[in-house]
Amino acid sequence: MIDKTIEILDKLISIDTTITIDTMAAVDYIQELLDKSGARTHRVMSPNGKRASLLATIGDPVRAGVIFSGHMDTVAAAADEWNYPPHKLTLVDSRLYGRGTTDMKGAIAAILANIDALAASGNTYHIVLTHDEEGGFSAIRQLVASNFDNFFGAKPRGCIVMEPTELTPIVAHKGGFRAQINVTGKSAHSAYPELGVDAGEYIVRAYIALREIFKKHSESWAPDDCFSPNHTTVNIGTLCAGDAVNKIPGSAELSYMMRYLPGNDIIGFNNDIAKLCKDLDIDIKSKDPSCSVEFIPGVNVESFAADANSDFVKMFGKGAKVSFATEAGFFAKLGIPTIVFGPGNIAQAHTVDEFIEISELEKFNEWIKGI
């Protein structure tokens, strides 16, 4: 089965599914494989009609089945930085190189290679392949909003999110929330600062206050030593103001990202940030009504904690906890027992010369046969 897995992976790697690219070629190829195996398939188009998520059921939909979940999209790859062509599967020793080999076309190829065996098992399985995980999880949000789980018939008894874990079950991961603060001031010549409103001053005030608010909230958040780091974190990803040293900045912005433990109250934290921005907005408008301070909430990737009482989760044995985010939290929130489990090492994801060990795919193939 490893030869068939590599054959399918070779085709998947040859199709560029970077988040900015039309992914329909990959959807067409995968759906054709599934249709030939007798699977029931359904596309969910993106709002712009250029991408699609793919749902499939193998077996009787009346029976509760198991979901294999993955994402078809990848991060970009600059060919001139790679030693191997990013969109051509290249075998070197025991490794298969190419963008997406680990994250996560290798796992998808293995499932597709085993479709006939899964169908012959007499059990029911579902496949959920999304088109935008790397760009902001918009595809899984769209699926949830469209009640996509109704497609499966009986409620699934479990979900396996096939992110690269070296086949170690992951029972919890941090959530990821990102947001932005935008300041509109009034530009002026630096020789006459009284004629302007310094947007830079307000973004610095927002930065200092954000740090203090985070410190206040984090004091009540319990750590979990199973995570590394063992606590919720926040980082200022971008901070900028103005466009010339001899001008009063007319605009400024700050973006931040939280990696939060399951159970931490990020809503309260972000409400305080929103209130901070409202207070700053009142202050800046007192100087010039055309100025503003705006809080813009962004993507929130659900944190994930597996249901420890679920027989499906127990089947995987003792699990680990990680700080990176996946689509698992969205399935768990639907009441579907969920685990993160797949071939490959997350350290290879998004890297130059991304690769997966053939042995990882071999072990995953053997695991699929035994499920």
Active-site entry in 73, 132, 353, 360: 73
Q: How far apart are CA 155 and CA 151, in angstroms?
A: 10
Q: Any idea what the Cα angle at residue 338 is, between residues 365 and 350, rounded to 5°? A: 65
SS3 assignment, position 80:
helix
Active-site entry in 133, 224, 253, 354: 133
Q: Is the peptide bond before 104 cis (omega within 30 degrees of 0)?
A: yes
Is residue 76 within 8 A of residue 352, CB to CB? The reply is: no
Residue 327: Cβ within 10 Å count: 27
Could you tell me how far CA 154 lies from the centroid of its own chain?
27
- 39 residue type, one letter: A
Exposed (0-12), middle (13-18) or buried (19+): which is 339, by Cβ within 10 Å? buried
Q: How far apart are CA 21 and CA 75, in angstroms?
A: 10
Q: Is 103 assigned a catalytic role?
A: no
Q: How far apart are CA 102 and CA 89, in angstroms?
A: 12
Residue 180: Cβ within 10 Å count: 15
Which are the contacts of 66, defined by CB distance < 8 A and separation ≥ 6?
Answer: 123, 124, 125, 126, 156, 157, 158, 159, 160, 312, 371
Is residue 175 within 8 A of residue 259, CB to CB? The reply is: yes
Q: Is 133 assigned a catalytic role?
A: yes
- Looking at the annotation, which residues are catalytic? 73, 133
